[in-house]
Amino acid sequence: MTRVAAIDCGTNSIRLLVADVDLAAGSLTDVVRTMEVVRLGQGVDRTGRIAPEAMARTLEATRRYATTCADLGVERTRFVATSATRDAENRQEFVDGVRAALGVEPEVIGGEEEARLSFRGATGVLAGRHPGPFLVVDLGGGSTELVLGTTSPVATASMDVGCVRLTERHLHDDPPTREQITAASADVTAALDVAGAIVPFGRTATLVGLAGSVTTVTAHALDLDRYEPERIDGSVLPVDRVLDSCRALVTMRRSRREALPFMHPGRVDVIGAGALVWSDVVSRVRAEVAIAGGRLKTVVTSEHDILDGIAWSAAEHD
C-alpha cells in the first residue's frame, strides 16, 4: 500500500486526491478528494500569459495542498498542469512557484498524456460494467480530450475548446445571444472535424463524460437538490435527456444558474459554454455511431477521471 497525492491543475480548477493505492490488489482508496476554483486560465486565450492574480490564487491553493499532504503522510506526489499552463508564455514562473510551494517538480503535460491519464482514471472503474470500446471525453476549462479504447487507448485527440476558453471568446452576454452561441458552436464543430479524423467516433460502444461541466450537466439532468457525487458517478442517462439539460444551461441566465442547488459558485459563469461543448460532442458521436450502423442510446458520467489516473501513475513511479 502506497499513500500518494495527485494534483490536477487545469484552466478552471485545481484538485487534490490523496489516496492509498495497492498495486497488487488493483485498488485505490480515497483519503481526501477536494477541489478549488482558481481560474488559472483567466485571460490566457486572449493574452497568452497567466495573469498575476490567477497565479497567486493557484499557488496559494498549492501551498494549502502541500500542508494537507504533509499532515496525511503522503509518500509520493505528482502535480500535473494542463491546458492553461501549456498555453502560457510565462509558464516557467508558475512551474517555479509550484516547485517552491510543494517541493516536487510539476509536470506540464500535453494533450495526449492528459487523455491517457483520463482514460485510465475512468475505465479503471467502468471496465466490466459497460461494453467497449469506450470514448472517454474529459471536458476542461481550456481543452477537451477524447480517447478511444477498450483496455488501453488506441486513438487520442486534444481540442482547444473548453468552458473557460469559449466563455471568454464568445459568450459575453447574459444570457448569450443566438449569434454568440452559434459562433461558439462553430469552434467546437471545427475542432471535432479535426479530432474525428484521428479518433473514429463511430466505433464508440460506451460514451463516458468526465470533469465538472459534464458532472454539472448530469446533476441538472438528474434534477438533484444538491451536488451528490455518489449519484452522479456511474449514472447512465438517455442521450436526449443530456442534450435537453445542455440546452437549458446554455440559454439560462446566470442568476438562475446560481440558484441551482447543485451548482458550484465557481462554475456559474462558464457552465453554459461547458454544456455547449458537451452537447456538440454527444450529438456528433451519436451521429457517427449511427452512420457506422450502430445506435448510441445513453451517456455515462464518471467522477473518476484524470485525478485517479495521476494517482495510479504516482504509485507506479519508482
CA distances from 235 to 190, 218, 270 (A): 29, 8, 23
> Average of pLDDT values for 38-54?
88
Q: What is the pLDDT of residues 258-288, one digit of tens each?
A: 999 999 998 999 999 999 999 999 999 999 9
Quick one: pLDDT band at residue 45, thresholds 50, 70, 90? confident
- Is residue 113 scored above 90 in pLDDT? no
Q: What pLDDT, on the 0 to 100 scale, is given for residue 127?
A: 65
Question: Which CATH number is correct for 115-302, 3.60.21.10, 3.40.50.800, 3.40.50.300, 3.30.420.150?
Answer: 3.30.420.150
Q: What is the pLDDT of residues 68-101, one digit of tens each?
A: 999 999 999 999 998 678 778 898 999 999 999 9
Q: What pLDDT, on the 0 to 100 scale, is given for residue 111?
A: 76
Q: What is the pLDDT of residues 140-150, one digit of tens each?
A: 888 899 999 99
Q: What pLDDT, on the 0 to 100 scale, is given for residue 189?
A: 97
> Average of pLDDT values for 248-263?
96
> Average of pLDDT values for 37-56?
89
For residues 25 and 233, what is the distance between their CA atoms, to the nearest angstrom? 22
Q: How high does pLDDT run on average in the chain?
A: 93
Q: What percent of the chain has pLDDT over 90?
A: 76
DSSP, collapsed to helix, strand or coil, labels residue 303 as coil
Give the per-residue SS3 of 225-243: CCCCHHHHCCCEEEHHHHH
Q: What is the CA radius of gyration of the chain?
A: 18
CATH architecture type of domain 2-109:
2-Layer Sandwich (3.30)
- Is residue 39 scored above 80 in pLDDT? yes
In the chain, the largest separation of any two C-alpha atoms, in whole Å, equals: 54
**Which cell is 180 given?**
454568440
Start-end ranges of CATH 3.30.420.40 in the chain? 2-109
Edge-to-edge strand order for the sheet containing 2-9? 27-37, 13-22, 2-9, 76-81, 107-108
Start-end ranges of CATH 3.30.420.150 in the chain? 115-302
Q: What pLDDT, on the 0 to 100 scale, is given for residue 285?
A: 98
Q: What is the pLDDT of residues 136-195, one digit of tens each?
A: 999 988 889 999 999 889 999 999 999 999 999 999 999 999 999 999 999 999 999 999
